[in-house]
């Protein structure tokens, strides 16, 4: 491999002939490397008839297959999938970097955590219990957890592997069938990883991948009468539309949506750790992460020093090709995303003060990619769109606060409630703040720690339902009560 980390690449070709879980007869989608513009993969695209075919087959099979009742079979299939992912992990990580742009280190982390998520759910597949209860003399209730049926998993491009597996692994572990639709910018990594699930032990038609635009292929998944549940991860406004469409069929929805998460630094925090944490919170994956700590709430007494030092770190970050081992931040995913991010930076320039970055990188090694400098903006009015809206790029808005009450008020002033960081050495404060902040995840003296075991999800406009953990798996089950009466008379 060359010093830049770039070796030659054989364009990945995914079609039903080579990857039978992919149902696509409508054409071909190409995906391109956001760092260089090179062709990365071609993937067969699906028409409405392919989507219908996938759903019809899944619906016909899922209620009659041993899959539904055989937890040991499901565990075996999922553990094998994890093992095959592990065998192919280096290739998957490179494909992920080439298709999405994140650094190879981050891509390796995403592959590893996806494998861990499969293994966690493989273990749970044999431990989905109901309960029984004596209700009165001669009367017993048995409460069962049954699979929901056919799940449509619709996923975004920012953590394409992780966010697909976060839905698919528990859905399968609970005995459902799954039809996956990846985002059109990152179809190959999802189709390739899903295809590793394909094995003789996997019953036919229990998993399928369809590829194509959200407005047609995605919409058909949401509205098809035989889809029982939609597990959607993406933008809040798309999620609201998905929920509206799903309402006609009274379908169950799980929505993992956007965020504008506060990362709150108190004067008593460990400054070095908080600086590293604030940098990771916003610039990891070029800010394209739903839980990005995109609002830095910093106590006024340390604001100048903290923000000044964070700006130095941002300016020193090496932004480049994700395959170059020296790169600390890759490109944003597409030309369109770059334009969106630059538009927000212009809002920052006109309404506040840019104290780091503030521009695209378009010359030399950056000429063919979608690179934006890590950007920090201070002195913004609280009404600024840059304070309120999700940018989904490497842009941090600074919001100073005077005391704990003001920090809570600013943190909760967002319409989102996905994640929050708290940096302080005061244990009692972490408890008070942790209870007061309206957010699905609160990291204390850390940021972006995710585990298969612990639930994630949003308050307010950040979503409905939880993924990961035991609750995340139970979202993919229906509760049924069987009532037994052994008395000789009815009442």
Residues of this chain that bind ligand NAD (CB under 6 A): 154-159, 163, 181, 183-184, 214-215, 218-219, 222, 233-235, 238, 241-242, 256-259, 290, 390, 392, 418, 458, 462-463
Q: How many CA atoms lie within 13 A of 332 on its CB side?
A: 27
Return d(Cα 454, Cα 456) in angstroms, integer: 7
Q: Which residue, 95 or 210, has its beta carbon nearer to ligand NAD?
A: 210
Strands 463-464 and 252-256: antiparallel
Minimum distance from CB of 28 to ligand NAD (Å)?
A: 17
Q: Which residue, 160 or 400, has its beta carbon nearer to ligand NAD?
A: 160
Q: How many CA atoms lie within 13 A of 480 on its CB side?
A: 8
Minimum distance from CB of 234 to ligand NAD (Å)?
A: 3
Does residue 256 carry a catalytic annotation?
A: yes
Minimum distance from CB of 130 to ligand NAD (Å)?
A: 29
Return d(Cα 133, Cα 63) in angstroms, integer: 26
What single DSSP character describes residue 324? S
Minimum distance from CB of 142 to ligand NAD (Å)?
A: 34
φ/ψ bin of 414: left (φ > 0), alpha (ψ from -120 to 50), beta (otherwise):
beta
Q: Among the options 94, 110, 119, 256, which is catalytic? A: 256
Minimum distance from CB of 222 to ligand NAD (Å)?
A: 5
Minimum distance from CB of 464 to ligand NAD (Å)?
A: 11
Query: What six digits make up the tokens of 320?
Result: 């480049």
Strand partners for 384: none
Q: Which residue, 277 or 287, has its beta carbon nearer to ligand NAD?
A: 287
Query: What six digits make up the tokens of 325?
Result: 């081992």
What single DSSP character describes residue 437? S
CB-CB contact of 132 with 141 (8 Å): yes
Q: Which residue, 259 or 352, has its beta carbon nearer to ligand NAD?
A: 259
Minimum distance from CB of 465 to ligand NAD (Å)?
A: 10
φ/ψ bin of 231: left (φ > 0), alpha (ψ from -120 to 50), beta (otherwise):
beta
Q: Which residue, 71 or 214, has its beta carbon nearer to ligand NAD?
A: 214
Query: What six digits make up the tokens of 451?
Result: 């585990």
Q: Which residue, 152 or 311, has its beta carbon nearer to ligand NAD?
A: 152
Residue burial 457-473, b: 16+ Cβ < 10 Å; e: rest:
bbbbbbbbbbbbbbebb
Phi, psi of 139 (to 5 degrees): -120, 130
Residue 479's nearest CA partner among 223, 128, 206, 169 is 128
CB-CB contact of 183 with 156 (8 Å): yes
Strands (E), 314-394: 353-356, 360-361, 371-372, 375-378
Query: What six digits make up the tokens of 75?
Result: 């565990």
Strands 395-401 and 375-378: parallel
Task: Name the one residue in this structure whose structure tokens are 């019953």.
Answer: 203
Minimum distance from CB of 372 to ligand NAD (Å)?
A: 16
Minimum distance from CB of 257 to ligand NAD (Å)?
A: 5
Residue nearest to ligand NAD (CB): 214
CB-CB contact of 319 with 327 (8 Å): yes
- C-alpha 345 chain-centroid distance: 24
Q: Which residue, 84 or 260, has its beta carbon nearer to ligand NAD?
A: 260
CB-CB contact of 65 with 147 (8 Å): no
Q: Which residue, 85 or 227, has its beta carbon nearer to ligand NAD?
A: 227
Q: Which residue, 125 or 154, has its beta carbon nearer to ligand NAD?
A: 154
For the annotated catalytic residues, the residue numbers are 256
């Amino acid at each position: 491999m060359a010093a830049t980390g770039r070796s030659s690449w054989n364009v990945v070709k995914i079609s039903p002939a080579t990857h039978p879980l992919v149902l696509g007869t409508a054409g071909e989608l190409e995906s391109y490397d956001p760092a260089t513009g090179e062709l990365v993969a071609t993937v067969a695209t699906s028409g409405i008839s392919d989507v219908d075919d996938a759903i019809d087959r899944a619906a016909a099979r899922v209620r009659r297959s041993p899959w539904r009742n055989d937890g040991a079979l499901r565990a075996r299939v999922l553990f094998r999938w994890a093992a095959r992912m592990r065998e192919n992990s280096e290739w998957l990580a490179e494909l992920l970097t080439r298709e999405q742009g994140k650094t190879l280190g981050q891509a390796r982390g995403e592959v590893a955590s996806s494998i861990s998520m499969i293994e966690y759910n493989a273990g749970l597949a044999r431990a989905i219990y109901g309960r029984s209860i004596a209700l009165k003399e001669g009367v017993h209730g048995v409460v069962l957890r049954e699979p929901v049926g056919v799940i449509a998993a619709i996923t975004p491009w920012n953590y394409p592997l992780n966010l697909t597996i976060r839905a698919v692994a528990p859905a399968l572990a609970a005995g459902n069938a799954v039809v996956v639709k990846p985002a059109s910018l990152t179809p190959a990594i999802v189709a390739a990883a899903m295809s590793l699930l394909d094995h003789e032990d996997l019953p036919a038609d229990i998993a399928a991948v369809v590829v194509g635009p959200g407005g047609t292929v995605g919409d058909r998944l949401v509205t098809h009468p035989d889809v029982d549940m939609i597990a959607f991860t993406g933008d809040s406004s798309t999620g609201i539309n998905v929920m509206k469409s799903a309402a006609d069929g009274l379908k169950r929805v799980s929505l993992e949506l956007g965020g504008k998460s506060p990362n709150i630094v108190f004067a008593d925090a460990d400054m070095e750790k908080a600086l590293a944490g604030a940098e990771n919170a916003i610039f990891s994956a070029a800010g394209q992460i739903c839980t990005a700590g995109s609002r830095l709430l910093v106590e006024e007494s340390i604001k100048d020093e903290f923000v000044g030092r964070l700006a130095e770190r941002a300016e020193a970050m090496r932004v480049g090709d994700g395959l170059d081992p020296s790169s600390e931040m890759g490109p944003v995913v597409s030309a369109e995303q770059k334009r969106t991010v630059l538009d927000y930076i212009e809002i920052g320039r006109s309404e506040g003060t840019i104290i780091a970055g503030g521009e695209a990188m378009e010359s030399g090694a950056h000429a063919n990619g979608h690179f934006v400098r890590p950007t920090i903006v201070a002195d913004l009015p609280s009404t600024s769109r840059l304070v309120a809206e999700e940018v989904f790029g490497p842009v941090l808005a600074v919001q100073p606060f005077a005391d704990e009450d003001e920090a809570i008020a600013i943190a909760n002033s967002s319409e989102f409630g996905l994640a929050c960081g708290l940096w302080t050495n005061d244990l009692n404060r972490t408890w008070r703040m942790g209870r007061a902040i309206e957010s699905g995840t609160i990291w204390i003296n850390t940021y972006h720690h995710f585990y298969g075991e612990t639930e994630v999800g949003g308050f307010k406009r950040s979503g409905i339902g939880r993924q990961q953990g035991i609750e995340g798996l139970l979202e993919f089950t229906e509760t049924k009560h069987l009532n037994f009466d052994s008395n000789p008379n009815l009442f």
